[in-house]
Amino acid sequence: MIIFDLSLTDEKEIFQELKPNGLILINSNKEIDFFKNMRRYKVGLIDALLIARNVGLGGTFNMAMLGAYTRLTHLVKMETLIEVVRRMVPAKIEQNIEAAKEAYEQAKVFEGGG
């Protein structure tokens, strides 16, 4: 599950939708302690909006979320993501790559226990 805006959902909805030991990536500037009720999941936290603004992307933070997702899941290597961005992203290529890298490095991840 990926939550781009925490204000659009609540814990009850998350718990209903997500299976035990599921993955959840949350765009938030809150500390991990705020999410203590989610410790049965693998949780990734990233302030993707802040990263996007810092690298010159304004409010466009999807690439930062993708970088954090890459860290959370390890489904693809960061190098592969960068190659794809260079080939497929039409504008602000270097800023998008920087956003993905920063989010990958800054993502806070904690493992759940089922």
pLDDT tens track for 11-25? 788 878 888 778 999
Fold observed for domain 2-110 = Pyruvate-ferredoxin Oxidoreductase; domain 3 (3.40.920)
Q: Across residues 104-108, what is the average pLDDT?
A: 96
The SS3 call for residue 89 is coil
19-43 pLDDT tens trace: 877 899 999 998 777 777 777 788 8
Contact criterion met (CB below 8 Å) for 25 and 44:
yes
Give the C-alpha separation, 114 to 31, whole Å.
21
Calpha distance 7→33 (Å, rounded):
17
Tokens at residue 92, please?
A: 């602000």
The answer to whether the CB of 45 falls within 8 A of the CB of 26 is yes
d(CA 94, CA 92): 6
Where do the structural domains in the chain lie, given as residue ranges? 2-110
Average pLDDT, the chain: 90
Residue 50 clears pLDDT 60, i.e. is over it: yes
Can you give the pLDDT at residue 113? 56
Per-residue confidence (pLDDT) for residue 101, from 0 to 100? 98
Type of residue at 46: I
Helix (H, G, I), strand (E, B) or coil at 2: strand
